[in-house]
Amino acid sequence: MPKIRNAIAAMAVVALTVLTGAVDAYAAPASPAATGFLFVYYGTYQDNVCGQFDQNQSVWGPCTNKAESLFNDGYPGNRDDAKVYWGANYTGAWRYLYNGAILNDLHDFTFDPSNGASGHGQQLWHNIASSSWVNL
């Protein structure tokens, strides 16, 4: 009888270990991979994609002065940070956007007030016309 109890106990421990391992593996979500894009949205909180840029954009086309939220999903590494500009062709005031950063409501953010360029200190909301990839 003790051998049977020991065998049952051992099987229970093995079953518990297997189940616990399976639950842990399932419960731990995988890290999402970067897409390499700067996402521009017509709406706040990443609603209604306007455009996605993986290269410098001297003009944002239909997204020009329409952005309400941003997400920098650039590939980590060299030139993974974004710089958004008040004017087309990388002109005017700017704001940096670190890799992985999300700006949910551009009402809450302004262009750098210290550079003195056109648009400095203004809200990003409906005021971005171009962007580039940089190292910060």
Give the model confidence (pLDDT) of 86-133 as tens digits: 999 999 999 999 999 999 999 999 998 777 789 999 999 999 999 999
Smallest CA-to-CA distance from 60 within 46, 39, 79 is with 39
Residue 50: how many other CB atoms lie within 10 Å: 18
CATH topology of domain 37-134: Gamma-B Crystallin; domain 1 (2.60.20)
pLDDT value of position 37 = 97
Pairwise CA distance, residues 79 & 1, whole Å? 69
pLDDT value of position 98 = 95
Question: How far apart, in Å, are the Cα atoms of 135 and each of 9, 43, 78, 97?
Answer: 58, 27, 6, 10
| Biggest CA-to-CA distance, the chain | 87
Residue 14 clears pLDDT 50, i.e. is over it: no
Helix (H) or strand (E) holding 21: helix 2-27
pTM for the structure as a whole: 0.75
Q: Where are the domains of the chain?
A: 1-30, 37-134
Smallest CA-to-CA distance from 128 within 87, 77, 70, 69 is with 87
Q: What is the phi/psi pair of residue 72, to 5°?
A: -90, 100
